[in-house]
Amino acid sequence: MNKNELINVVATQLSKSRQEAEAFINTFIDVVSGEIARGNRVQVTGFGTFERKLKPSREGRNPKTGESLQIPAKYHPVFKAGKVFKELCN
């Protein structure tokens, strides 16, 4: 399912217009993204937790030359599924 299909399903299930459903989905994504970018976690009970984790710096190699280089530390987003969501998947 892609974003457009999700918007259509939400609009149908909530008996709202496609524009209202799109605004809801976009707002959800913006709020979660903004909170994660600020270093906060977003926990949706029964669904899961969105947060960011620090990937530490490490040594890597240039595959073309074999030269060693330092890969800097960076943050990446993480989603941990909640118990109810995990149970639905099994």
pLDDT > 90? residue 90: no
Q: Which residues pair with 80 in a beta bridge?
A: 49
pLDDT given for residue 42 in this prediction: 96
Q: Does domain 3-89 bear CATH number 3.40.605.10?
A: no
pLDDT given for residue 73 in this prediction: 96
Q: Which residues pair with 43 in a beta bridge?
A: 49
pLDDT given for residue 48 in this prediction: 95
Q: Answer yes or no: are the C-beta atoms of 74 and 55 closer than 8 Å.
A: yes
To the nearest 10 degrees (0 to 180), the angle between helices 3-14 and 18-37 is 120
Q: What confidence tens digit (pLDDT) does each residue in 28-84 have?
A: 999 999 999 999 999 999 899 999 999 999 999 999 998 999 999 999 999 999 999
Closest CA to 44 of 76, 85, 10, 1: 85
Q: Which residues pair with 69 in a beta bridge?
A: 60
pLDDT given for residue 70 in this prediction: 94
**Domain limits of the chain?**
3-89
pLDDT > 90? residue 17: yes
Residues 11-15: what's their mean pLDDT?
A: 95
